[in-house]
């Protein structure tokens, strides 16, 4: 039996506001490289929420590692930090401007969780189903072959996949794999 190898990417950083945007772009570029474009918005939102939690709450430092892995049609995004305190999902007051990050991650992900990591630290993770990433996309003809019907516009393909996005520019990344 032939199995698909896992795909893996790791980024270490200080969870500072300027770095969070950079990591979001790296994750987006990596998912484009893996042809998982329909997962970009949810993965970028999730990694932003998890890194913001590290920035706001982690002690003694803001050093963390972001890991994304595609294995068996499931994308796992995880953030490891050096604070052993485990986060809790809380109900935010209707007028609160923060406090909904983990609830959002729980809402858009297939699953999520937190686990202690060694003597000090934790890992917060979430998964997204990658099998549905291409479910609504039309089959592409082999390279060099003529398509039987006129090409669909980008907006039509994105709408068919249920992930119409606006304002996205291509990201560049030095991460490969």
The pLDDT of residue 98 is: 65
Q: Catalogue the E-assigned strands of the chain.
A: 7-14, 63-71, 74-81, 111-116, 122-129
The pLDDT of residue 88 is: 78
* Among candidate residues 51, 23, 46, 44, the one with its CA nearest the CA of residue 106: 46
Pull the structure tokens for residue 121. Answer: 């630290």
* Among candidate residues 62, 75, 63, the one with its CA nearest the CA of residue 12: 63
Determine whether domain 7-133 maps to CATH 3.30.450.20: no
**In a structure prediction context, what are the per-residue pLDDT tens digits for the chain, which is 177 residues long?**
444 556 999 999 999 999 999 999 999 999 999 999 999 999 999 999 999 999 999 988 999 999 999 998 999 999 999 999 988 777 766 665 566 788 899 999 999 999 999 888 999 999 999 974 444 444 444 555 444 444 444 444 344 444 433 343 343 344 444
Residue that the structure tokens 């068996």 belong to: 72
The pLDDT of residue 157 is: 39
Pull the structure tokens for residue 64. Answer: 């963390």
Where are the domain boundaries for CATH 3.30.565.10 in the chain? 7-133
The pLDDT of residue 144 is: 52
Pull the structure tokens for residue 141. Answer: 């003809």
Measured on CA atoms in the order 152, 34, 109, 60, is the torsion positive or negative? negative
Buried b (16+ CB within 10 A) or exposed e, 45-59: bbbbbbbebbbeebe
């Amino acid at each position: 039996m032939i199995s698909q190898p896992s795909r893996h990417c790791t980024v270490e950083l200080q969870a500072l506001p300027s770095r969070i945007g950079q990591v979001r772009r790296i994750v987006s570029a990596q998912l484009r490289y893996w042809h998982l474009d329909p997962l970009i918005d949810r993965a970028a939102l999730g990694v932003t929420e998890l890194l913001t939690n590290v920035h706001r709450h982690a002690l003694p430092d803001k050093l963390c590692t972001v890991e994304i892995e595609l294995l068996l049609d499931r994308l796992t995004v995880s953030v490891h930090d050096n604070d052993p305190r485990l986060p809790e999902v809380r109900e935010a007051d209707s007028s609160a401007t923060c406090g909904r990050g983990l609830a959002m991650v729980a809402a858009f992900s297939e699953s999520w969780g937190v686990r202690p990591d060694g003597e000090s630290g934790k890992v917060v993770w979430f998964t997204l189903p990658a099998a549905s990433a291409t479910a609504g996309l039309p089959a592409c003809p082999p390279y060099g072959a003529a398509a039987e019907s006129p090409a669909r516009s980008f907006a039509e393909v994105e709408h068919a996949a249920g992930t119409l996005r606006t304002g996205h520019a291509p990201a560049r990344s030095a991460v490969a794999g």
